[in-house]
């Protein structure tokens, strides 16, 4: 069995499959295992890393799957060349990326994703004393804010676009898990790490978003909008970093390349996490944004099912159902407000790879037409950044995926011929 993605879902699938005597290989783009959420190996991940070590699983890091040669054969690019991955079953646990929305100034250096800035700090960026604003949407914002503050950032504000604070107050019938999360918004302080220097408290605002980032060669400040009970408020704040992401978008490109059906932006799976293609399974955020716990249980079910242990898999269905219910509530709670569709000005860049402005996109009726005429979505990221934006802005759906699913070296393309 091959697992693509060494995040929680992938590791859970690998562990269960290997326990049940499948020969398992895990392949991942990142230099280390753990996915985005377990980057840097936090304590809560150790139990899973230990489980993987306790079974016979081969983990290949720094390998980017880019091409399917034929049924059961994938090619991945590594720093030392192309490796061929053969499988009789595969679990696609390719995770999710942040959704980015364009607003004036969002292309300035030091404007990053919320997870983006956290990843940089986890991998060596000193953030102590830097003035940071975390903005956008989703449960990630609070976690990122707490993390950055714990590492000495001067956290000026955490701005959630959804009106979650109001939901927290009037949240009748909310599930406990969600209620707890929303209540975190009402906490005035202090989620810094124990022992961290006393800092002034971070403001959490809901119904608040960044309407513009200012600066010449890099970020110097932002304009914020807060839609409160008594009308709105607009003001400017100077800062060093803006960490801004609008919840998550599943990474479905590889599943599409393998012919798996995608519905509403997520890979369609049956009760055993099998996609519409036999022996191709999918688990975690790839099948719909649902967070860590859902990813783990989906991964375990996929691993068990791939190993033929359907009864054992069935025993985990109740846990998955509960986590899915929570995920649905979460996704509804953090639904994006319409005002965000009107942040970008005509001259604001939407496609950062090809510098295509909103004005140029407006002239077209589909993403396909826009791509043909403007090159929107045709640069190195292959629409992974602007795709989530144009879906929200114009309701455009991504068009067919073609190999290679991400940019590779010419050498790797030549090697494809050799492997044939």
Partner 1 sequence: MPETVTLVVNGVSVEMPAGSMVSAAILKTGMHAFRRSVTGEPRGPLCGMGICFECRVTIDGEQHCRSCQTICRNGMDVQTEPQKAQE
Which of 10/379 has CB closer to partner 1?
379
Instruction: Give yes or no for a contact between 274 and 283, defined as CB atoms under 8 angstroms apart.
Output: no
Which of 325/352 has CB closer to partner 1?
352
Instruction: Give yes or no for a contact between 317 and 26, defined as CB atoms under 8 angstroms apart.
Output: no
Q: Does 387 bind partner 1 (CB under 8 A)?
A: no
Q: Does 296 bind partner 1 (CB under 8 A)?
A: no
CB 219 → partner 1: shortest distance, Å?
8
At 311, phi and psi to the nearest 5? -65, -45
Q: How many residues bind partner 1 (CB under 8 A)?
A: 41
CB 45 → partner 1: shortest distance, Å?
15
Which of 184/378 has CB closer to partner 1?
378
Which of 113/288 has CB closer to partner 1?
113
**From 17, 26, 57, 111, residue interacting with partner 1 (rule: CB under 8 A):** 111
**From 107, 211, 276, 397, residue interacting with partner 1 (rule: CB under 8 A):** 107
Which of 322/352 has CB closer to partner 1?
352
- Which residues within the stretch 27-86 sit at the binding site for partner 1 (CB under 8 A)? 29-32, 36, 62
**From 2, 287, 384, 415, residue interacting with partner 1 (rule: CB under 8 A):** 384
Which of 41/259 has CB closer to partner 1?
41
Quick one: which segment of 92-100, 221-229, 257-265, 273-281 binds partner 1 (CB under 8 A)? Answer: 92-100
Which of 30/266 has CB closer to partner 1?
30
Which of 300/354 has CB closer to partner 1?
354
Q: Does 378 bind partner 1 (CB under 8 A)?
A: no
Q: Does 120 bind partner 1 (CB under 8 A)?
A: yes
Instruction: Give yes or no for a contact between 107 and 352, defined as CB atoms under 8 angstroms apart.
Output: yes
- Which residues within the stretch 331-350 sit at the binding site for partner 1 (CB under 8 A)? 349
Q: Does 393 bind partner 1 (CB under 8 A)?
A: no
Q: Does 100 bind partner 1 (CB under 8 A)?
A: yes
Q: Does 259 bind partner 1 (CB under 8 A)?
A: no
Which of 30/192 has CB closer to partner 1?
30
Tell me the three-class secondary structure of the chain, residue by residue: CEEECCCHHHHHHHHHHHHCCCCEEEECCCCCCCCCCCCCCCHHHHHHHHHHHHCCEEEECCCEEEEEEECCEEEEEECCEEEEEECCCEEECCCEEECCCCCCCCCCCCEECHHHHHHHHHCCCCCCCCEEEEEEECCHHHHHHHHHHHCCCEEEEEEECCCHHHHHHHCCCCCHHHHHHHHHHHCCCCCCCCCCCCCCCCEEEECEEEEEEECCCCCCEEEEEEECCCCEEEEEEECCEEEEEECEEECCHHHHHCCCCEECCEECCCCCCECCCCCEEECHHHHCCCCHHHHHHHHHHHHHHHCCCHHHHHCCHHHHHHHHHHHHHHHHHCCCCHHHHHCCCCCCEEECCCCEEHHHHHCCCCHHHHHHHHCCCCCCCCCCCHHHHHHHHHCCCCCCCCCCCCCCCHHHHHHHHHHC
x/- string (CB under 8 A) for partner 1, residues 208-237? ---------xx-------------------
Chain residues binding partner 1 by CB under 8 A are 29-32, 36, 62, 97-98, 100, 107-113, 115-121, 123-126, 217-218, 251, 349, 352-355, 379-381, 384-385, 407
């Amino acid at each position: 069995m091959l697992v693509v993605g060494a995040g929680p879902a992938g590791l859970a699938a690998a562990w269960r499959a290997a326990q049940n005597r499948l020969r398992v290989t895990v392949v991942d783009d990142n230099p280390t295992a753990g996915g985005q959420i377990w980057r840097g190996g936090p304590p809560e991940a150790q139990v899973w890393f230990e489980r993987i070590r306790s079974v016979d699983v081969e983990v290949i890091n720094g390998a980017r799957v880019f091409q399917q040669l034929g049924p059961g054969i994938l090619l991945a690019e590594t720093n030392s060349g192309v490796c061929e991955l053969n499988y009789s079953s595969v679990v696609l646990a390719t995770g999710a990326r942040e959704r980015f929305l364009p607003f004036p100034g969002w292309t300035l250096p030091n404007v990053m994703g919320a997870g983006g800035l956290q990843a940089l700090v986890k991998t060596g960026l000193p953030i102590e004393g830097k003035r940071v604003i975390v903005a956008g949407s989703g449960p990630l914002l609070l976690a990122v804010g707490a993390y950055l503050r714990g590492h000495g950032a001067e956290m000026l504000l955490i701005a959630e676009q959804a009106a979650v604070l109001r939901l927290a107050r009037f949240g009748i019938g909310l599930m406990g898990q969600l209620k707890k999360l929303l209540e975190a918004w009402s906490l005035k302080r202090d989620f810094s790490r124990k022992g961290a220097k006393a800092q002034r408290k971070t403001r959490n605002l809901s119904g608040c978003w960044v309407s513009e980032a200012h600066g010449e060669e890099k970020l110097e400040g932002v304009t914020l909008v807060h839609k409160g009970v008594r009308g709105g408020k607009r003001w400017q704040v100077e800062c060093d970093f803006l960490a801004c992401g609008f919840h998550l978008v599943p990474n479905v490109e590889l599943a599409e390349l393998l012919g798996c059906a995608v519905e509403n932006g997520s890979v369609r799976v049956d009760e055993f996490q099998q996609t519409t293609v036999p022996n191709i399974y999918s688990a975690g955020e790839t099948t719909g944004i649902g967070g860590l716990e859902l990813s783990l249980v989906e991964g375990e079910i996929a691993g068990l099912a791939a190993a033929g242990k359907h009864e054992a898999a069935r025993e985990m269905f109740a846990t998955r159902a509960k986590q899915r219910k929570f995920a649905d509530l979460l996704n509804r709670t953090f639904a994006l407000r319409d005002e965000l569709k009107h942040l970008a000005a005509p001259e604001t860049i939407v496609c950062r790879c090809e510098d295509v402005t909103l004005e140029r996109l407006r002239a077209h009726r589909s993403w396909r037409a826009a791509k043909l005429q403007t090159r929107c979505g045709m640069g190195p990221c292959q629409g992974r950044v602007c795709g989530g934006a144009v879906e929200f802005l114009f309701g455009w759906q991504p068009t067919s995926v073609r190999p290679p699913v991400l940019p590779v070296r010419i050498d790797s393309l030549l090697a494809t011929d050799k492997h044939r």
